[in-house]
Structure 1
Amino acid sequence: MGEAVPTLPRLFLGEALRQLREDSGRSLDAAAAHIGKNRQRLIRLLDGKATLTREELDRLVAFLGAGKQLRRELVALGEEARKKPNDEPYTDLGPGAYRRVAYLEAMATTIRSYEKGIFPALVQSPAYVEALMELSHGIWWDEAVDQERLDRVAIRLERQRRVFVSKKDKEVHLLFTDDAFEAVVGSSEVMREQVAHVLRVVEAQPKLTVQVVPTAARNNPAQHGGLTLFGFGEVLRTVGSLPVVYGPATYFDKEPDTRCLERAFGKLCELALSPSETVDFMKRKLQKGS
Structure 2
Amino acid sequence: MQRTYSPSVRRRRLAAELRRARDLSGLTGLRAAKELGWPHSKLTKIESAKQGVKAADLEALMDLYKVGDRDTREAMLRLARESKERGWWWKYRDIFGERALPDFEAEASGIRCWQAQLVPGLLQTPDYIEAVFRAGNAQDDAVVQRHVQGRIERQHILNGVHPPRFAAILDEGALRRQIGGREVLHEQLQHLCNMATRHNIDLRVLPFVAGEHQASNGSFTVLDFPNPLDVPVAFTETVTASMFVEEPAEIATYNDVWSNLQGAALTQARSAEFIQKVMRDLT
Common fold by TM > 0.5: yes
Give how far 1:4 is off: 5.2
Map of 2:154 onto structure 1: 159
Shift of 1:10: 6.3
Instruction: Tell me which residue corresponds to 1:150.
Output: 145
Matched with 1:80 is none
Residue identity opposite 1:289 in structure 2: L
Map 1:236-247; keep pairs closer than 5 Å.
Answer: 236-244=230-238, 246-247=239-240
User: What are the superposed Cα offsets for residues 146-176 of structure 1, whole Å, 9 maximum, x if unpaired?
Assistant: 44322211111111112x1224341110011
The secondary structure found in structure 1 opposite 2:106 is helix
Equivalent-residue separation in structure 2 for 1:8 and 1:275 (angstroms): 38
Structure 2 stretches of 5 or more lacking a match?
A: 1-12, 17-47, 53-73
Shift of 1:247: 2.3
Alignment partners' CA distance in 1, 2:102 and 2:148? 13
CA-CA distance at 1:99 after TM superposition: 7.0
Q: CA deviation at 1:280?
A: 0.7
Residue 15 of structure 2 contacts residue 49 of structure 2 at CA under 8 Å; is this kept in 1?
Answer: no
Number of equivalenced pairs: 218
The answer (yes or no) to whether the contact 1:228–1:243 under 8 Å persists in 2 is: no
Q: 1:250 is paired with a residue of what secondary structure?
A: strand
Distance 1:173 1:263, change over 3 A: same
Which residue of structure 1 aligns with residue 268 of structure 2? Answer: 275
Aligned partner letter, 2:231: R
Determine if the alignment matches structure 1 residue 198 to structure 2 residue 208: no
Q: How does 1:1-290 map to 2 (within 5 A)?
A: 5=15, 43-45=78-80, 47-48=82-83, 70=91, 96-97=96-97, 100-136=100-136, 139=137, 141=138, 143=139, 146-162=141-157, 164-203=158-197, 205-233=198-226, 234-244=228-238, 246-290=239-283
Identity %: 18
Q: What SS does the corresponding residue of 1:107 show, helix, strand or coil?
A: coil
Report Cα offsets for 1:12-58 as digits up to 9, x if no partner.
xxxxxxxxxxxxxxxxxxxxxxxxxxx9888424543xx5xxxxxxx
Secondary structure of 2:199's match?
A: coil
TM-score w.r.t. the length of structure 1 is 0.66
d(CA) in 2 for partners of 1:10 and 1:238?
19
Q: Select between 257-266 and 146-155 the one with higher mean Cα deviation.
A: 146-155
Amino acid at match of 2:121: A
Cα drift, residue 286 of structure 1: 2.0
| Partner Cα separation in structure 1 for residue 106 and residue 193 of structure 2 | 23
Question: Which ranges in structure 1 are unaligned for 5 or more consecutive residues?
Answer: 12-38, 52-59, 74-93
Change (3 A) 1:266 1:207: same
Does the CA-based 8 Å contact 1:116-1:176 persist in structure 2? Answer: yes
SS at match of 1:151: helix
| Paired amino acid for 1:282 | I
SS of the residue corresponding to residue 242 of structure 1 reads strand
- 2:26 corresponds in structure 1 to none
What code does the residue aligned with 2:244 have?
Y
SS of structure 1 residue aligned to 2:113: strand
Please report the RMSD computed on the Cα atoms of aligned residues, expressed in angstroms.
Answer: 3.1
